[in-house]
């Protein structure tokens, strides 16, 4: 069926409501827009759906959410009656239509005889992860598009271990979804009927209380300066209540919230992009911090699984730490605390992603811990935690990724900005008792372990043409890549799609045991590196670059050389 045939079907079928038809009628003279909305189905990737809100098969709306949920329901039913009886936990963030999509999912499950536990109001993604295991549910759904712009929403699926579904499960669910060719075959139960039959259960405070208590148990040290001044912004999202509650209950007396960004706002009206990775998201927090002379600023993204940290440099200017820097500080702080209490065990393990700085590996080695790399995506870190529990051979201590996601403890199986916010504040309060800022603590790490400097370049390439350019960039680097950049000589390139690691000097191949993924990583003779990865959730290609040296100047020069060569080649391919 052509995109125009699909458009006409949605426009004329009795199944689709008047609001949908009115939206589609408004674009009847815009064939390019019709094509973009209907040329394909919105892809259910390895974690779920994410896309622009709107009518059409290539948009997220109550119909595409219902189809994805029906596919999930069919998979759960196939897994047996025990899985059906355990039910599904559902949460959502503050975005446009999040509540509607969450309810749609719950009522499609109800029509299939599967009960759901739906949070009464918005909740952070990590609390959803916790609730799955706490309730003994078979799966979980969270409606969120994380830090995407306001026109986006998404739908992520979790499994019974509390982690995002891994490719083996995702592929089976995708198969079930693809079998549903007719939207009108999807049934949805009336909300009152679902409540009466016990197939829709509303949850809230009882889960909050248990979750918050478990977060507080992860505190490393009690004897810290809890009078430090903290400025916090939830960026209009779900973090406001849980982050403030944890800090208050632990005795932090000077927590100031950015009022303009305190309340949920699906438009994220005070920022261009509600992402703590973007320094511009901290504009209001920095102004407030300067007025208060705050020690530290924090910002969580809309679903509160990522946290950004702002500290004062030696000139007293606020700067945003990148995810590698915050991760290294947290790792060293946690391991330092464990060492003081003689709690480091020989089977303790740190997990990071393949595009995360190697500084964490160096720190872990200093404390005698092994570091394991996973593919990008916290689902793979969660999968390792489950594997450790089942095999009883390793013990998870800390996991993180460069994109501002951190986790310690195992009651959550996804990155958790509530836990991380608590520990960052505690860490800043601890270093203040030593007469140091977090920035000075970071400089100490560099002096001790070496200077590691990273940069991420995201290039937005939208639509069909953008996808072609992304494919061309990846194809070009697979066949023709620089073997020398400045003083750096290439040692190894890893092609995670082909599952091979190649020594460029000997041409020897080794198998990569990670799942297949369209990622390339090029590693030099001093372990500096760069990697290319198309985003799984946005129309972007990401170029990660990392350089190290004995001095900051040496590391920066290497990074500049890598940037010039690699970004120049990317730009040339995209332009041509």
Q: Strand 520-524 relative to strand 509-511: parallel, antiparallel, unpaired?
A: unpaired
| Residue with tokens 């709107």, as numbered in its chain | 54
| Residue with tokens 């973007």, as numbered in its chain | 278
**77 closest CA partner among 202, 181, 179:** 179
| Residue with tokens 């800022």, as numbered in its chain | 437
**37 closest CA partner among 8, 14, 80, 70:** 8
DSSP 254: E
Q: Look up residue 215 and give its two tokens.
A: 């977060």
Instruction: List the 307-312 sheet strands across, edge first.
Output: 254-257, 229-233, 296-300, 307-312, 318-320
E strands present in 376-450: 395-401, 405-407
CA distance 455 to 446: 17
CA distances from residue 369 to 66, 70, 240, 562, 571 in whole angstroms, order as listed: 45, 44, 35, 30, 40
Q: Classify residue 309 as exposed, middle or buried by CB count within 10 Å of its CB (0-12, 13-18, 19+).
A: buried
Q: Classify residue 507 as exposed, middle or buried by CB count within 10 Å of its CB (0-12, 13-18, 19+).
A: exposed
Active-site choice (94, 146, 517, 546): 146
Please check whether residue 129 is in contact with residue 161, taking contact to mean a CB–CB distance below 8 angstroms.
no
CA distance 404 to 277: 7
Q: Look up residue 522 and give its two tokens.
A: 């090029």
* H or E element that contains 550: none
User: Is 146 among the catalytic positions?
Assistant: yes
* H or E element that contains 166: none
Interacting residues of 435 by C-beta distance below 8 A, sequence separation 6+:
none
DSSP 68: H
Q: Which residues are annotated as catalytic?
A: 146
């Amino acid at each position: 069926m052509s995109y125009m045939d699909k458009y006409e079907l949605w426009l004329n079928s009795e199944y689709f409501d008047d609001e949908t038809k009115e939206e589609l009628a408004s674009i009847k003279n815009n064939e390019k827009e019709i094509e973009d909305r209907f040329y394909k189905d919105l892809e259910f990737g390895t974690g779920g759906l994410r896309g622009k809100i709107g009518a059409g098969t290539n948009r997220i709306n109550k119909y595409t959410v219902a189809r994805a949920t029906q596919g999930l329901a069919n998979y759960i039913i196939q897994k047996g009656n025990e899985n059906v009886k355990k039910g599904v936990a559902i949460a959502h963030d503050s975005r446009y239509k999040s509540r509607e999509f969450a309810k749609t999912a719950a009522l499609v499950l109800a029509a299939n005889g599967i009960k759901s536990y739906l949070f009464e109001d918005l909740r952070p993604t990590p609390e959803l992860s916790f609730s799955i295991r706490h309730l003994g549910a078979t799966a979980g759904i969270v409606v969120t598009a994380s830090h995407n712009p306001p026109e986006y929403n998404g739908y992520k699926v979790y499994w019974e271990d509390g982690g995002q579904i891994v490719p083996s499960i995702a592929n089976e669910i995708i198969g079930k979804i693809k079998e549903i060719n007719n939207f009108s075959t999807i049934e949805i139960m009336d909300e009152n009927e679902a409540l009466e039959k016990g197939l829709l259960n509303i949850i809230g405070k009882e889960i909050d209380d248990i979750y918050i208590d478990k977060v507080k148990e992860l505190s490393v040290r009690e004897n810290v300066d809890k009078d430090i001044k903290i400025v916090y912004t939830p960026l209009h999202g779900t973090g406001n209540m849980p982050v403030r509650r944890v800090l208050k209950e632990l005795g932090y007396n000077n927590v100031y919230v950015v009022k303009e960004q305190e309340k949920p706002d699906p438009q994220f009206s005070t920022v261009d992009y509600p992402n703590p990775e973007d320094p511009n998201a901290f504009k209001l927090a920095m102004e407030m911090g300067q007025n208060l002379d705050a020690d530290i600023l924090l910002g969580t993204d809309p679903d509160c699984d990522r946290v950004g940290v702002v500290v004062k440099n030696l000139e007293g200017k606020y700067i945003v730490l990148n995810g590698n820097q915050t991760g290294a500080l947290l790792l060293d702080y946690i391991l330092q605390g464990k060492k003081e209490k003689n709690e480091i065990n020989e089977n303790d393990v740190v997990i990071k992603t393949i595009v995360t700085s190697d500084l964490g590996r160096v720190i872990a080695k200093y404390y005698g811990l092994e570091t394991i790399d996973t593919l990008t995506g916290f689902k793979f870190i969660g999968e390792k935690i489950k594997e450790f529990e089942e095999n009883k051979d390793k013990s998870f201590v800390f996991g993180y990724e460069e994109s501002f996601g951190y986790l310690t403890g195992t009651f959550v199986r996804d990155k958790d900005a509530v836990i991380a916010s608590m520990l960052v504040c505690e860490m800043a309060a601890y270093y203040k008792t030593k007469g140091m800022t977090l920035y000075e603590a970071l400089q100490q790490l560099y002096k001790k372990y070496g200077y590691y400097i990273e940069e991420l370049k995201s290039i937005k390439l939208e639509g069909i043409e953008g996808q072609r350019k992304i494919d061309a960039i990846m194809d070009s680097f697979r066949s023709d890549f620089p073997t020398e950049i400045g003083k750096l000589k290439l040692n190894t390139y890893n092609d995670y799609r082909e599952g091979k690691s190649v020594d460029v000097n000997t041409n020897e191949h080794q198998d990569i045991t990670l799942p297949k993924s369209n990622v390339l990583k090029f590693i030099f003779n001093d372990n500096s590196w760069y990697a290319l990865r198309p985003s799984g959730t946005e129309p972007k290609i990401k170029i990660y670059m990392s350089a190290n040296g004995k001095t900051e100047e040496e590391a920066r020069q290497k990074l500049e050389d890598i940037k010039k060569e690699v970004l120049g080649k990317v730009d040339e391919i995209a332009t041509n």
